[in-house]
Amino acid sequence: MAKHYEALQRAEAERKRKAGADSAADPLADWAPTPQSFTAPRRRIRDRLGSLRRKKAPLGDTANEINKRRISILQPESFASEQFRMLRGRIDALSTQQRLQTVSVTSANPGDGKSMASINLAVVTAMSVGRKVLLIDCDLRRPKIHTTLGLELRSGLAEVLQQSATFDESVVTVDSLSLDVLAVCSLPTNPSELLASAEMTNMLATACDTYDQIILDTPACLGLPDGKTVSELSDGVILVVRADVTRQDDVEAVLEILDRRRLIGMVLNGVEATRGQYGYY
């Protein structure tokens, strides 16, 4: 029995010796988690994500998107520009039957191309001999006209409606286009209220005394009251629909929102053309 006991003791001692050697070789053998054990890796991951975010390109329009919105300026003889001349001709034809001095351009959703249509329609209309044209950016939330046309502003629509600047000093003339523009300089905290104010109505009435044609770029209609508000101040409304993007339900919803008596037509954007460098319109 004594021999068996001694053999067991030797075996246990050998096991402990081997276990001790293995623990020394394995740095995680005696590891016990602590709060600091998890904080450091999380901090490293957070710092890495922060670095990636800083390297990410800022949100905004690309040069290609801006150029598409001013195709009538860059390529006045292009197929796309001719389509806007056709739109101008149809508006002129309708204006012999009804007053269309102020025309709003809107859409169901952002990204459908309303600003593109507004800018190019205003540009080709300003090309008409003897016609004085004003383009107004009524999107006080996500304005695009000032960046597209490269305008430097000291005041804009919000300042006019807040009566901190006059209409005359806020209108910028693009000499190369013979086009006047009232853009957005600062974003107000109450855009809906400003567009529905008496100052907005009075400002449009003043503009009508000076300009033959006024094009208003309005916000998208769905989800915001701004588009409907501006459209009701206009003689006519053009609805921009993007092919394969704008849902039929959204178009029907917009038609329920807008006063159909003011709707003079729709522009289908995003249809691939067979000619011209910019086959997007």
Q: What does the alpha-carbon distance between residue 227 and residue 259 come to, in Å, rounded to a whole number? A: 11
In a domain, 203, yes or no: yes
In a domain, 274, yes or no: no
Q: Are residues 30 and 83 in the same domain?
A: no
The pLDDT value given to residue 74: 73
pLDDT tens for residues 67-77? 777 777 777 77
Q: Are residues 30 and 70 in the same domain?
A: no
pLDDT band at 274 (very low <50, low <70, confident <90, very high): low
Q: What does the alpha-carbon distance between residue 125 and residue 168 come to, in Å, rounded to a whole number? A: 21
Q: Are residues 20 and 46 in the same domain?
A: yes
Q: What does the alpha-carbon distance between residue 201 and residue 267 come to, in Å, rounded to a whole number? A: 26
pTM for the predicted model, two decimal places: 0.73
Instruction: Work out how many domains the chain is built from and give that number.
Output: 2
In a domain, 8, yes or no: yes
Domain of 198, in residue numbers: 63-269
Q: What does the alpha-carbon distance between residue 158 and residue 34 come to, in Å, rounded to a whole number? A: 56
Q: Are residues 34 and 90 in the same domain?
A: no
Helix ranges (H only) for 95-242 are: 114-126, 145-149, 157-161, 167-170, 191-195, 198-208, 226-231
Q: What does the alpha-carbon distance between residue 38 and residue 214 come to, in Å, rounded to a whole number? A: 62
Q: Are residues 8 and 109 in the same domain?
A: no
The pLDDT value given to residue 11: 60
The pLDDT value given to residue 12: 61
Identify which of 22-36, 71-85, 155-169, 255-269 has the greatest average pLDDT. Answer: 155-169
The pLDDT value given to residue 24: 47
In a domain, 93, yes or no: yes
Can you give the CATH number for the domain in which 110 is found? 3.40.50.300
Q: Are residues 67 and 51 in the same domain?
A: no
The pLDDT value given to residue 177: 84
Mean pLDDT of 8-29: 55
In a domain, 277, yes or no: no
The pLDDT value given to residue 42: 46
